[in-house]
């Protein structure tokens, strides 16, 4: 059965490697590649792939935010997250974002085809550690209520986008341009974010972004 795929990763060699693995399967086609999260969301809306494979750590808009936006705006596309990390807070955020699969890059050669096939059949696929957490009811309401609140959950999607751009060194003007906002609105968002996170400098904001996997160290 044919499968149309979107592959998003900011490293060309990784995209080529993933494409080679995926297109070795009969009827599977990588219909588009994306170099960052914003590009991935735009292409997902254009081509409406069956499955979008997203790297977490991408510039401009990370894979976590891209996953949220794709799940929300392209309901028929299932999201598979590909990452080097398996930290518990990141796992929780990925699952909350609506991804149907989560595999480690180190396991891609072994698990990628199995994961895509599972999503194609309306199932889920998680790397072993994540599967164990899901099995233990990691996202059960009772469990969720006892989890310590992470600052990342106190931000809106738009605010998380702005945090990433600021942490990447963008000015308020550049943030405004990237998101189609007025400079004044971007500056207001920036002030609100700094206050909400109790960050008193851009350096503190960068540390927050790294800690919450919004940008890479």
Domains in the chain: boundaries: 3-142, 151-211
Q: Which helix (H) or strand (E) holds 111?
A: helix 108-120
Candidate ranges 6-20, 119-133, 143-157; pick with highest mean pLDDT: 6-20
Q: Is the model more confident about 141 or about 75?
A: 75
E strand intervals along 26-129 = 28-34, 51-55, 78-83, 101-104, 125-126
The Cα–Cα gap between 8 and 11 comes to: 9
Q: Per the structure block, which two tokens stand in for 144?
A: 């969720």
pLDDT, tens digit, 9 for 90 and up, residues 143-187: 444 333 455 557 788 888 888 888 878 888 898 998 898 999 988
- Find the mean pLDDT for residues 47-74: 92
pLDDT, tens digit, 9 for 90 and up, residues 69-113: 999 999 899 999 998 877 667 777 887 888 888 898 888 888 999
CB-neighbour burial class of residue 200 (10 A; exposed 0-12, middle 13-18, buried 19+): exposed
Class of domain 3-142: alpha beta
3-state secondary structure of 109: helix
Please answer whether residues 5 and 116 qualify as being in contact, where contact means their C-beta atoms are separated by less than 8 angstroms.
yes
Class of domain 151-211: mainly alpha
198 has a pLDDT exceeding 70 = yes
Whole-number Cα distances in Å, 193 to 122, 159, 196, 207, 209: 37, 7, 5, 14, 12
| Prediction pTM value | 0.69
128 has a pLDDT exceeding 80 = no
The Cα–Cα gap between 5 and 28 comes to: 8
Q: What's the whole-number average pLDDT of the chain? A: 84
The pLDDT score that the predictor gives to residue 138 is: 52
3-state secondary structure of 213: coil
Please answer whether residues 77 and 119 qualify as being in contact, where contact means their C-beta atoms are separated by less than 8 angstroms.
no
């Amino acid at each position: 059965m044919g499968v149309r795929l979107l592959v998003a990763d900011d490293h060309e060699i990784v995209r080529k490697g993933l494409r080679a693995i995926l297109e070795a399967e009969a009827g599977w086609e990588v219909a588009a590649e994306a170099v960052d999260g914003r590009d991935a969301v735009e292409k997902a809306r254009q081509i409406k792939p069956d499955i979008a494979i997203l790297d977490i750590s991408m510039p401009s808009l990370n894979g976590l935010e891209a996953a949220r936006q794709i799940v929300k705006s392209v309901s028929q596309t299932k999201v598979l997250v590909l990452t080097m990390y398996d930290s518990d807070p990141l796992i929780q955020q990925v699952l909350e974002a609506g991804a149907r699969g989560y595999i480690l890059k180190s396991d891609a050669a072994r698990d990628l085809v199995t994961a895509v096939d599972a999503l194609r059949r309306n199932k889920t696929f998680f790397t072993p550690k994540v599967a164990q957490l899901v099995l233990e009811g990691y996202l059960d309401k009772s469990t969720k209520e006892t989890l310590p609140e992470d600052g990342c959950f106190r931000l809106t999607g738009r605010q998380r986008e702005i945090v990433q751009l600021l942490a990447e060194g963008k000015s308020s003007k550049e943030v405004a341009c990237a998101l189609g906002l007025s400079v004044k609105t971007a500056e207001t968002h920036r002030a609100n974010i700094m206050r909400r996170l109790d960050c008193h400098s851009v350096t503190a904001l960068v540390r927050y972004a790294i800690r919450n996997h919004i940008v890479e160290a």
